[in-house]
Structure 1
């Protein structure tokens, strides 16, 4: 199947593309710059242009054409720009949800962040508060949709190599996790119907990835 990956040039997405290819699917990297095409095609992705912030739902729907699943892994990044937390993290997700619904694409996997339902401390800063609010509200919108959704909420992201061992569950406490392990979990849940309707925290752990998913899905 074709898998639309919103934020297709992000750090997690670049690790995800080869994993999706290895599963026999084609990742469709949605990016805003033609200059990113060659590097993403080398990873096995089909590249389509989409400016998340300026595109409307019609543009998202056109970019999703022919796809059977959507992975929303876009983020405004640690740039201190409060506005981009709304236009990318929240509105990008909302437009993706609406476009998928319009096209009849059922499968939708979203990368969020751990503990975004918890109150933000007064000293956290307004940029962090905006980020948390955007992720919280986008998760709520996805849960309220009729899509076959899975929400992954990673802890602090690191660039260490994949460990293949994680802790997954609705109440797993905050901790670090490699971006490579997040990508591996994203790839795994795409093909697992038993992960639909699940919202899980995701951090590094001691349990092999497939076993951790099995246990979380049974709980």
Structure 2
């Protein structure tokens, strides 16, 4: 059994992830901002903790994550103002990585997006720019730490049924079901071959997609 703490615990992917982890015997802590979401998190098999990561310092986050075996960062501002996007998707994420190291939690999985590269190509005047810029900064910070990090970078998220199969480095938008993203995160937590790796993926063409376990193996 592992103790996993998930930031952004009421997100659609996180609510699909928690049951997968709980089913294999992991103990899941889901960090949420809104106390009205407690029942949803409990129904997913996780223990809810109400905390505002946007305002918490690294020392407070360290207290929150201490004693866990792994961190999954699936939190985000969800659009809106660029200021809040940077505050959550970049700054809070970076504080959580610094906190992880000080708390002795070395395993860290960052949920990013397929296009998170230095040359992501999003124009500065595009409303999506803040997200692209913030996620890239957070991803790069993780790569520069001594944490056992994995960056899970799916393409466009859908509500389709899971296939259990993905294509690595897909062309185009790399559409993928949220349920398959959750399965990739769960598998990444126990697959040593994902350490230090950025996994860019989509569901892909049925002809080229492979089972998730195979896609993540060495």
TM-score by length of 2: 0.92
Does the 8 Å contact 1:50/1:59 carry over to 2?
A: no
Distance 1:67 1:86 in 2: 26
Distance 1:43 1:141 in 2: 31
- Report the counterpart of residue 20 of structure 1 in structure 2: 21
Does the 8 Å contact 1:48/1:63 carry over to 2?
A: no
Distance 1:31 1:47 in 2: 7
C-alpha RMSD of matched pairs (Å): 1.4
How many pairs does the alignment contain?
211
Does the 8 Å contact 1:50/1:60 carry over to 2?
A: no
The unaligned stretches of length 5 or more in structure 2 are: none
- Report the counterpart of residue 109 of structure 2 in structure 1: 109
Distance 2:175 2:201 in 1: 9
TM-score by length of 1: 0.91
1:208 has 2:218 as partner: no
The unaligned stretches of length 5 or more in structure 1 are: none
- Divergent runs of 4+, >4 A: none
Distance 1:16 1:100 in 2: 21
Q: SS of the counterpart of 1:127?
A: coil
Q: SS of the counterpart of 2:153?
A: strand
Residues 194/81 of structure 1: CA separation in 2 closer, same or farther (3 Å cut): same
Cα offset for 1:209? 1.3
Residues 121/96 of structure 1: CA separation in 2 closer, same or farther (3 Å cut): closer
Distance 1:173 1:199 in 2: 16
Q: Deviations over 1:39-88 (max 9, x none)?
A: 2112110111220211111221122132110000111113x321121011
Does the 8 Å contact 2:122/2:128 carry over to 1?
A: no
